[in-house]
Structure 1
Amino acid sequence: MEGRGVMLQQYQKIMVAVDGSNEAELAFQKAVNIAKRNEASLLLVHVIDTRAFQDVNSFDSMLADQATELAKQSLSDYRENAKNSGVEQVETVIEYGSPKLIIAKQIPQDKDVDLIILGATGLNAVERLFIGSVSEYVTRNASCDVLIVRTDVENKRTYNEEE
């Protein structure tokens, strides 16, 4: 097969959603490894769910600013980590709105993403009941490949599955 010009599938732009959860941390580590293997650029995304600030009658801009500052700091740490690990092109994006739609549709279309990497959940059982899991939505609705990370870099489960 080698000499027949068969090209291996290579990802060019890999997006990973990071939200500070343990699952997102595992997804980030895998994304770095996959980006290195594919010589792909890495897009680090943090979505600030604006619905979280709307309970207070109006959009609470102070809370939103605080969330933005935290997200900036976190993305900057992730970016440095990815660069130090050998990923040459790293871009960061903060978006506001519905994480499901932004991660499944908006950013992948705007940025030509060909692989989305997500942590397995980040929601507890009750939240999942009400908002449904972001990863489930993205898996069903994204137009590119989606990798849901359930294991660490050695492909070992890091938590038990008893929810």
Structure 2
Amino acid sequence: MEVTAAAIASGEAVAMMADMKKKKKLKRVMVALDESDVSLYALKWALDVFLPSMAEEAKLTIVHVQPPFESYIYTVGPVIYAKPPEIELMRKAQQEGAEKLFAQALPLCSANKVNADTLVLEGDAKDMICEATEKMEVDLLVMGSRGLGMIKRTLLGSISDYCVHHAKCPVLIVRTPKEMTTTHK
């Protein structure tokens, strides 16, 4: 069962999720976060609307996927390789970015009395999220939607759209309020 943006917009999402919970207790929920306000909104929405009614033994995992770091750069001329100190600085910056993201997310979970694990992966976000949901046997994946228009979504690709079609578990796409998405279109 896919929970789509249309279902959320029409208010059917909570009813659909309640029906899912009757059929199968949700024990593992994953929320995918990036550096956007949209993904943080999806976490807040899940904590406020959906997660309070989950079983106490349920587990929440917050996942963040970093792009793979390449130690070389292709230029018009020869290939340029990064030196070890530069590589270390870039990896440290990625790690600090993930820590900053989790520093925003974990207090929200604590405030809602939800214990959350964090997971940082490296690679293509859409593939890594789908792989993680399968390996961890996640019962539900929650993601935000940036609200890209059809042309931008076609050109840039949509991680949430990919996950809806390829994840081995139900995917809940949380649509953000219009005031958050108008700046991204």
TM range (shorter): 0.7 to 0.9
What letter matches 1:47 in structure 2?
Answer: V
Q: Please say if 1:100 is aligned against 2:115.
A: no
Which of 122, 143, 157 pairs up with 1:132?
Answer: 157
RMSD of aligned alpha carbons: 2.9
Distance 1:16 1:160, change over 3 A: closer
* CA offsets 1:90-113 (integer angstroms, 9 cap, x no match): 100001011010112x21122221
Q: In the alignment, is the contact (CA less than 8 A) between 1:121 and 1:134 conserved in 2?
A: no
Which of 121, 125, 148 pairs up with 2:173?
Answer: 148
Task: Specify every segment of 5 or more residues in structure 1 that has no aligned partner in the other structure, as ranges.
Answer: 1-6
Q: In the alignment, is the contact (CA less than 8 A) between 1:43 and 1:90 conserved in 2?
A: yes
Structure showing greater radius of gyration is 2
What letter matches 1:150 in structure 2?
Answer: R
Distance 1:53 1:29, change over 3 A: farther
Distance 1:160 1:90, change over 3 A: closer
With structure 1 as the length reference, what TM-score do the two structures score?
Answer: 0.77
Q: In the alignment, is the contact (CA less than 8 A) between 1:23 and 1:122 conserved in 2?
A: no
Aligned residue pairs total 151
Q: In the alignment, is the contact (CA less than 8 A) between 1:48 and 1:68 conserved in 2?
A: no
Task: Specify every segment of 5 or more residues in structure 2 that has no aligned partner in the other structure, as ranges.
Answer: 1-20, 75-79
Alpha-carbon distance in structure 1 between the residues aligned to 2:111 and 2:26 = 20
**SS of 1:8 mapped into structure 2:** helix
Identity, % of aligned positions? 25
* CA offsets 1:17-47 (integer angstroms, 9 cap, x no match): 1112121011111222322211332110110
